[in-house]
Structure 1
Amino acid sequence: MLTFVGLGLYDLGDITLKGLTYVKSADVVFLEAYTSRLMGTDLTAMEVFFGKEIRVLSREDVEQDPAEILERAAAGRVAFLIGGDPMVSTTHADLRIRAAAAGIETSIIHAASISSAVCGLSGLQNYRFGKSCSVPFPAGGWFPTTPIDTITVNLGLNLHTLVYLDIQDDRCMRIPEAIEIIEDMAERRGVEPPALYVGIARAGSEHPVVAAGSGSKLKETDFGPPLHVLAVPADLHPVEREYLETFAGL
């Protein structure tokens, strides 16, 4: 049995009671730590909280060589822990398909996701979001411009864009860095950069930071530690504008 367990947004208090019960009863616990992270806790605290040894998985462990995960799931109860909500990332969907192909029973225990938390914290209406995108750290001569293409298409359709920021082993992208990269992408593609951004830091914590404004304003805003995420709004509904004025300093 392979069960994908969402951990929620920020710390150990975010897991559902159903998820907690399953993890405590599991024979093996894996943690996928490359698509998202709980910044309000660490591995040691998680092992104490769950009363389980936790094996941390790399992207290669899940996407290229998941044999151990599947073997353990074929023989017993496996909890596969994921920050946020399972199946938001295609890597998790692929693993579930592989398990099904091997005749392994699977299930999902959902939790809060940044994709819905952004709506609550920003007031941007969820049905007005188009395709999301991710901004990676440039590496060497590699500088993809797909994110600005996605943002431009969404704005043309009067749709908001959720922009995920890169997470690496030794660093997590922050909002000012992301805006600099998006503006560079816009210049390279010969399009106007977004006029308005909403930046959100540490969603799910007791004191998240939410700020709306121009790129120059947000690049000077102190959002504090990660994780950070961006939204690029389209034309604002009056209620969306009032919400951002009230709670995000627009």
Structure 2
Amino acid sequence: MTGMGRLIFIGTGLMGGDWITTRGIEAAREVDFLFAEFYTSYIGDEGVKRLENILGRRIVRLSRDEVEMKERLFKYLEDGDVGLLVGGDPMAATTHVELRLEAERRGHRTDVVYGVSIFSAAPSSVGLQHYKFGRVVSVPWVSEKFMPRSVLEGIEGNLRCGLHTLLLLDLKDGEGFMSVNECLRTLLKLEERHEMGVVNEETLVVGAARIGDPTECIKGGALSEMLEENFGPPLHVVVIPGRLHFVEEEALRTIAGVRDDVLERWKNKIESFCPKGPTPS
């Protein structure tokens, strides 16, 4: 088997690895070498310690360059099976798809142990129907020289189809985390620059923090109201709802605390984006 080790991608799920599956634990214990990368989905020092306690072995963290350059991993694959721990679901990031394909090209077998992902957990946490989400939109840190119109275009495209939008908030190389509040301020800055009429202070938004953790926080309302809310420590995401089914409306009232008057205003606003179409079922 020398020179033909397997590369196994192991999803650790949400919030520091507490959601890693039984299969993931077994795979992580069985491999000859165990690495982790958490720049695509931050886990923190405490999360790594918890994972090491669960797995009963040391985890070697890789930098972004080490994962993208690949050679360190392939060196270890010459001597045995390698496990790569990844936050969330491993194949949600293009980096890991590319790494898997390169391993296959070099003759190594690859396996994937799937994990709970924010892409499925966020809709569940706020009570919106998964199949009614459109394109996922990433919100970066902006500056006077960098104000990407594409953020608003992504939201607008979803709204015109009556679809919900999941906004993923930027990380600064593992050092800084965008909050719900910073995300909403960024959207207003982008709107001020590009004047697209997509987002304003009355836009219905739902902020979600630490999904999957006992301290999970879900709050929704008009953007102007959510700007002042305290969502606590990271990680945060934001959802902008599209056309709502009556069950989704009830979920937003019950889970996110959205008021009836905010819902009614938003339902009227959605008609300007998506004026016709059947009532969702």
TM-score band, normalised by shorter chain? over 0.9
Corresponding residue of 1:16: 21
- The number of residues matched between the two structures is 249
CA distance in structure 1 between the partners assigned to 2:66 and 2:152 by the alignment: 31
Corresponding residue of 2:264: none
Using structure 2 for the length normalisation, give the TM-score. 0.84
Corresponding residue of 1:109: 113
| Paired residues of 2:13 and 2:115 also in contact (CA < 8 A) | yes
| Paired residues of 2:16 and 2:48 also in contact (CA < 8 A) | no
The answer as to 2:255 corresponding to 1:247 is yes
Larger Rg: 2
Consecutive unaligned residues of structure 2, counting only runs of 5 or more, are 1-5, 259-281
CA distance in structure 1 between the partners assigned to 2:40 and 2:238 by the alignment: 16
Which segment is superposed worse, 92-101 or 141-150?
A: 141-150
| Paired residues of 1:2 and 1:104 also in contact (CA < 8 A) | yes
CA distance in structure 2 between the partners assigned to 1:95 and 1:145 by the alignment: 30
CA distance in structure 2 between the partners assigned to 1:133 and 1:37 by the alignment: 18
CA distance in structure 2 between the partners assigned to 1:14 and 1:170 by the alignment: 23
Per-residue deviation, 1:140: 6.6
Q: Output one character per residue of 1:143-200: Cα deviation in whole Å (capped at 9) or x when no partner.
A: 3221111001111111111110011222111000001101111222212215111110
Per-residue deviation, 1:52: 2.4
Per-residue deviation, 1:100: 0.8
Corresponding residue of 2:223: 215
The answer as to 2:61 corresponding to 1:56 is yes
Per-residue deviation, 1:207: 2.6
The answer as to 2:10 corresponding to 1:5 is yes
CA distance in structure 1 between the partners assigned to 2:251 and 2:119 by the alignment: 18
CA RMSD after TM alignment: 1.6
Q: Structure 2 matches for 1:219-238, cutoff 5 A?
A: 219-238=227-246
SS for the counterpart of 2:213 is: coil
Q: Output one character per residue of 1:68-96: Cα deviation in whole Å (capped at 9) or x when no partner.
A: 11222243111111111111111111111
Higher relative contact order structure (alpha carbons within 8 Å, sequence separation ≥ 6)? 1
- The one-letter code matched in structure 2 to 1:175 is V
Corresponding residue of 1:198: 206
Using structure 1 for the length normalisation, give the TM-score. 0.94
Which segment is superposed worse, 145-154 or 42-51?
A: 42-51
CA distance in structure 1 between the partners assigned to 2:58 and 2:207 by the alignment: 35
CA distance in structure 2 between the partners assigned to 1:165 and 1:45 by the alignment: 24
Q: Which runs of 4+ in 1 moved over 4 A?
A: none
CA distance in structure 1 between the partners assigned to 2:144 and 2:192 by the alignment: 19
CA distance in structure 2 between the partners assigned to 1:134 and 1:107 by the alignment: 28
CA distance in structure 2 between the partners assigned to 1:99 and 1:139 by the alignment: 38
- The one-letter code matched in structure 2 to 1:223 is F
CA distance in structure 2 between the partners assigned to 1:202 and 1:93 by the alignment: 26
Q: Structure 2 matches for 1:1-250, cutoff 5 A?
A: 1-38=6-43, 41-63=46-68, 65-138=69-142, 141-168=145-172, 169-192=174-197, 193=199, 195-250=203-258
Which segment is superposed worse, 157-166 or 30-39?
A: 30-39
Q: 1:236 to 1:228 in 2, by over 3 A?
A: same
| Paired residues of 1:10 and 1:39 also in contact (CA < 8 A) | no
SS for the counterpart of 1:134 is: strand
CA distance in structure 1 between the partners assigned to 2:196 and 2:65 by the alignment: 36
| Paired residues of 2:15 and 2:47 also in contact (CA < 8 A) | no
